[in-house]
Structure 1
Amino acid sequence: MNTETKLLSDTAHQVFGALTDGADAWQQIEVMGLTRIGIPEHLGGSGGTTDQARIVLRAAAYHAARIPLAETLWLAAPILADARMPIPDGPLTIANATGGDLRVHASRDGSSLRLDGTLNRVPWARRATRIVIATDERVCLIEPNTCTITEGENLAGEPRDDIRLDGVTIDTDDVGTLPYRLNLRSRGALARSIQISGAAQRALDHSVEYAGQRTQFGRPIAQFQAVQQHLAQIAGEATILDVSVASATRKAAERPDGSPAIAAARINACRGAGVVAELAHQIHGAIGTTHEHQLRLATTRLWSWREEFGNETEWSRTLGNTATGADDPWHFITAL
């Protein structure tokens, strides 16, 4: 990690570690430019690289920040920039209209579009200032107050809302076209995998701290071989997660439509999330499941995020099908 990257990581951890769950939480990070890293300045971003955006997103996940940073920083804002559309201020979210029942109708004069249909489990819809609706090549911006939002949440208590569109009309100025075929499932899977890497590291740190403090038979439980093995396995999984998502991020930056490396990172993330959560709770015992203990903030997110944008089984099937279609499957797999 070079000096600039370390400074960014330290700053992000300091900011998200002190962030409170108040109304001004988003403004605190937005004014610092942390919500648009990785987007060129001439397109409305803060500059920097995609890998730097990964570092910021991982830090937010480590501290269990209750903000739609993945949806804004990693999904909505970059897609709007790619479509050469202005990026609105405030938290954003994105909904995938591909494969759903959303219907798009153009007006007769061609100056507006009408949207009808339902979009399910949209992250943070109730908190977003604008909602981005994405299809394969088209991006639409809508106001949350123009649709009906039914609130829901995932296991970690993060908003996952249903959106009902009944004849919502948007001006063509709020519609853009992407220069590529969007694979939102792939982008979202990488975002959640990055978040899992942050939450896994937090679960490891909680476990190391607790094992050093909790005593049994007159000595810290960290001195017992079984606990040491659990800690070593969690540390190994956390390292695998960091390496795989970092590699996938670099390769995805070269291919905005997605990369097989994302599938590999996603498989590791989903598998590793389960292992880390299970072993961390074994180390903590019953106290780790209580509302008062911070471990639950990491593990409930691990369980939730591994089920979003495709789970381990779905991505294993995707990667397997891609590999069998390659000219040299062995080279395909080992080159990831």
Structure 2
Amino acid sequence: MAESENIVVETAEKIFSDLADAQTINHDKKGEWKAPLWQALTEAGLPLAWVPEDCGGSGASLAEGFAVLSAAGRHAIAVPLAETMLAGWLLAQAKISSPAGEMTVIPAAPKDRITVGADGTLSGRARSVPFAKAAKHFAVLAGNSIALVDASKCRIEAGIGLGGDNSDIVVLDKVEPTATKPAPKGFDQTQLMLMGGVVRSLQIAGALEAMLDISVRYSNERVAFEKKISKFQAVQHNLAKLAGESAAALAAATSAADAIANAKSFDDAVFLEAASAKIRCSEAAEKGGGIAHQVHGAIGFTIEHILHRFSLRALAWRDDFGSESYWAVELGKMVANRGADELWPLVASR
């Protein structure tokens, strides 16, 4: 990791540690922790990390931003940091300046489409849009155009995801965008979904790291039958499996992030890395979350326990920007289209 990446991640980690402690948040039923956290993130320039300075952002590299998102996953951050970073990245593709405040991207599902009318207005319906209710602006990919939209001009049907965060339906009915520019040549919705999928993969991997740490710590504190439960072979076996799932998710997610950060375009190699990461991390979220709760026993199932902040969000993140099954099908299609002779050289090159 470069020195600049260290500085950016250390800044993010300090903010998360100081203002997003899981236990403190669990006891704050009014959500008063959100405003100070968002203010600190904004002052550090993290929400617009992927936006060039000439477009109103911090101009951080993709690698630096990915490292921040991994840290955000380790703290189960429940503010639209990842969504605003992704929205800023999308707007930057068309050289549209990013406004201040929370943002999110539309669409957030592979099969949803937003269209541009002859008069330049936008229409369509986007499901499961993360933090749409909290966003002040939307970064919208509509066909071959990228647009900035004032959230107040859209109809939002509020919803709650598995992790307890907003996952809303956004309806655009001939909405006039604040700004619209053509997307770069070759840029399409698949690339947005791949980028979003890697973002979620990093967050899942981070959450699994936290779940492993919490579970190991608990097993060394909990005493049953006059000895720590970490001494029982069955518990050791489960913790080893959880460590394996966490390591696999982290390897897949960071490899995909590295591929995107160093690629000149979203080619087949990036597709392979990103799709595989979302599939493997989604699988790890299910298996790892279950193991973590097993280790904790009954106490882990109480809603007051911090483990839920990580396990439920990891499970919820599986479905954003294409589910595990969706990417498995798409990856299968790519392999079939390339043919058997080209599969091994592609895999071996990674």
- Which digits, 9 at most, give the CA deviation of each residue in 1:22-67, with x for residues without a partner? 3343221011111222443334332332121111111112112211
> What is the identity, as a one-letter code, of the residue corresponding to 1:59?
A
Partner of residue 24, structure 2? none
Question: Helix, strand or coil for the counterpart of 2:173?
Answer: strand
Residue 328 of structure 2 is aligned to residue 316 of structure 1: yes
The aligned runs of 1:132-171 (5 Å cut-off) are 132-170=139-177
Q: 1:296 to 1:99 in 2, by over 3 A?
A: closer
CA contact (8 A) 1:61 1:196 kept: yes
CA distance in 2, matches of 1:311, 1:147: 26
Q: 1:220 to 1:51 in 2, by over 3 A?
A: same
Instruction: Give the C-alpha shift of residue 190 in structure 1.
Output: 0.9
CA contact (8 A) 2:215 2:295 kept: yes
Residue 71 of structure 2 is aligned to residue 65 of structure 1: no
Question: Helix, strand or coil for the counterpart of 1:53?
Answer: helix
Q: 1:267 to 1:102 in 2, by over 3 A?
A: closer
- Which digits, 9 at most, give the CA deviation of each residue in 1:142-171, with x for residues without a partner? 111112211101110110111222332235
CA contact (8 A) 1:44 1:81 kept: no
CA distance in 1, matches of 2:287, 2:72: 21
CA distance in 1, matches of 2:123, 2:9: 42
* Worse overlay, 233-242 or 80-89: 233-242
Question: Helix, strand or coil for the counterpart of 1:187?
Answer: helix
Instruction: Give the C-alpha shift of residue 15 in structure 1.
Output: 0.7
CA contact (8 A) 1:37 1:53 kept: yes
> What is the identity, as a one-letter code, of the residue corresponding to 1:15?
I
Question: Helix, strand or coil for the counterpart of 1:126?
Answer: coil
CA contact (8 A) 1:266 1:315 kept: yes
Instruction: Give the C-alpha shift of residue 205 in structure 1.
Output: 0.9
CA contact (8 A) 1:204 1:280 kept: yes
Q: How many residues align?
A: 328
Q: 1:104 to 1:324 in 2, by over 3 A?
A: closer
* Worse overlay, 36-45 or 276-285: 36-45
Q: Structure 2-normalised TM-score?
A: 0.87
Aligned partner of 1:204 among 212, 215, 223: 212
Q: 1:324 to 1:332 in 2, by over 3 A?
A: farther
CA distance in 1, matches of 2:113, 2:46: 35
Partner of residue 12, structure 1? 12
CA distance in 1, matches of 2:326, 2:112: 18
Structure 2 regions of 5+ residues with no counterpart? 21-32
Q: 1:239 to 1:127 in 2, by over 3 A?
A: same
CA distance in 1, matches of 2:195, 2:285: 19
Partner of residue 53, structure 2? 41
Q: 1:117 to 1:137 in 2, by over 3 A?
A: closer
The aligned runs of 1:90-239 (5 Å cut-off) are 90-96=101-107, 99-100=111-112, 102-107=114-119, 113-170=120-177, 174-179=179-184, 180-182=186-188, 183-239=191-247
Partner of residue 302, structure 1? 314
Instruction: Give the C-alpha shift of residue 18 in structure 1.
Output: 2.1
CA distance in 1, matches of 2:73, 2:180: 31
* Worse overlay, 144-153 or 250-259: 250-259
CA contact (8 A) 1:116 1:167 kept: yes
CA distance in 2, matches of 1:335, 1:310: 25
Question: Helix, strand or coil for the counterpart of 1:259?
Answer: helix
Question: Helix, strand or coil for the counterpart of 2:104?
Answer: strand
> What is the identity, as a one-letter code, of the residue corresponding to 2:14?
Q
Residue 87 of structure 2 is aligned to residue 76 of structure 1: yes
> What is the identity, as a one-letter code, of the residue corresponding to 2:174?
G
CA distance in 2, matches of 1:153, 1:311: 17
CA contact (8 A) 1:136 1:181 kept: no
Structure 1 regions of 5+ residues with no counterpart? 108-112
Partner of residue 269, structure 1? 281
Q: 1:275 to 1:45 in 2, by over 3 A?
A: same
> What is the identity, as a one-letter code, of the residue corresponding to 1:175?
T
Question: Helix, strand or coil for the counterpart of 2:220?
Answer: helix
CA distance in 2, matches of 1:237, 1:3: 29
Question: Helix, strand or coil for the counterpart of 2:256?
Answer: helix
Identity among equivalent positions (%) equals 34
Partner of residue 335, structure 1? 349
Instruction: Give the C-alpha shift of residue 240 in structure 1.
Output: 1.8
Question: Helix, strand or coil for the counterpart of 2:321?
Answer: coil
CA distance in 1, matches of 2:273, 2:307: 30
CA contact (8 A) 2:136 2:152 kept: no
Partner of residue 110, structure 1? none
CA distance in 2, matches of 1:46, 1:169: 28
- Which digits, 9 at most, give the CA deviation of each residue in 1:184-228, with x for residues without a partner? 221111111111011111111110111011011111111111111
CA contact (8 A) 2:50 2:88 kept: no
- Which digits, 9 at most, give the CA deviation of each residue in 1:262-321, with x for residues without a partner? 011112101111111011011001111111100000100111111222222222222222
Q: Structure 1-normalised TM-score?
A: 0.91
Question: Helix, strand or coil for the counterpart of 2:133?
Answer: helix
CA contact (8 A) 1:215 1:221 kept: yes
Question: Helix, strand or coil for the counterpart of 2:47?
Answer: coil
> What is the identity, as a one-letter code, of the residue corresponding to 1:81?
A
Instruction: Give the C-alpha shift of residue 176 in structure 1.
Output: 1.5
